[in-house]
Copies of this chain bind each other. A is one copy, B any other.
């Protein structure tokens, strides 16, 4: 997957043109393949066949790398819907898009959940669109980030669950958990009939319940 240099002369060996984008995408690829501990600046340099020092013209260090990887992922989260749909429908569409973006990169979830937003992060602009949509709909400004973080916890937990095997709860032949076994078999039959994955069923049920509860909260707040 060598990237040919636009500037190389005829007959010279191919060289990658280093760019911030290439470095971040390589970092994300290494995180997905080997975990976040094996995707640092040195590992990226090895992967690209360059000296670590040459990366620092484009990425300032580990914190900047993580901030950049967050933007690669959060750029794929759609917030346009907040301009077009009612807040509750927009929140659901945003949640689906957000879960898909992170479900594609499970090793980043726990890392990004606890890493502060960088100072000039584009991700903050993503949040700005969501906040503005909720405030326009009447949510009190002091409550909006709490709503967003609550939904985000559900989304990130669901993105982790997306990776779990469909039969991760398979009880096998044991006889000491009869209620659990009956529920497991009943779910298995119901989901097989509709062709739904357990993780998708749980995400959709939880999202519906959460947004329905938020709708009740919103009604109580805007009525008062």
Instruction: Say how far A171's CB is from chain B's closest CB, in angstroms.
Output: 6
CB neighbours (8 Å) of A141 from chain B are: 182-183, 186-187
CB neighbours (8 Å) of A177 from chain B are: 124-125, 127-128
Question: Considering the chains assembled together, what is the distance between the CA atoms of A211 and B117 in angstroms?
Answer: 30
Interface hits, A181-199 → B, CB 8 Å = 182-184, 186-187, 189-190, 198-199
Of B125, B160, B217, which contacts A209 at CB under 8 A? B217
Instruction: Say how far A40's CB is from chain B's closest CB, in angstroms.
Output: 14
Query: Which residue on chain B has the smallest CB distance to residue A141?
Result: B186
Instruction: Say how far A175's CB is from chain B's closest CB, in angstroms.
Output: 11
CB neighbours (8 Å) of A160 from chain B are: 109-110, 113-114, 153, 156-157
Indicate if A50 sits at the interface (CB-CB under 8 A): no
Question: Considering the chains assembled together, what is the distance between the CA atoms of A109 and B106 in angstroms?
Answer: 12
Question: Contact between A180 and B131 (Cβ–Cβ < 8 Å)?
Answer: yes
Interface hits, A207-222 → B, CB 8 Å = 208-214, 216-217
Instruction: Say how far A216's CB is from chain B's closest CB, in angstroms.
Output: 6
A149/B202 contact (C-beta < 8 A), A142-B183, A157-B156 known: yes
CB neighbours (8 Å) of A54 from chain B are: none
Question: Contact between A146 and B176 (Cβ–Cβ < 8 Å)?
Answer: no
CB neighbours (8 Å) of A63 from chain B are: none
* Stretch of A6-14, A16-24, A25-33, A161-169 that contacts chain B: A161-169
Of B35, B114, B127, B189, which contacts A142 at CB under 8 A? B189
What are some 19 contacts across the A-B interface (CB < 8 A)? A107-B110, A109-B160, A114-B163, A116-B165, A117-B168, A127-B169, A128-B179, A135-B183, A142-B186, A143-B190, A146-B205, A150-B158, A151-B206, A153-B161, A153-B206, A206-B210, A209-B209, A209-B212, A213-B213
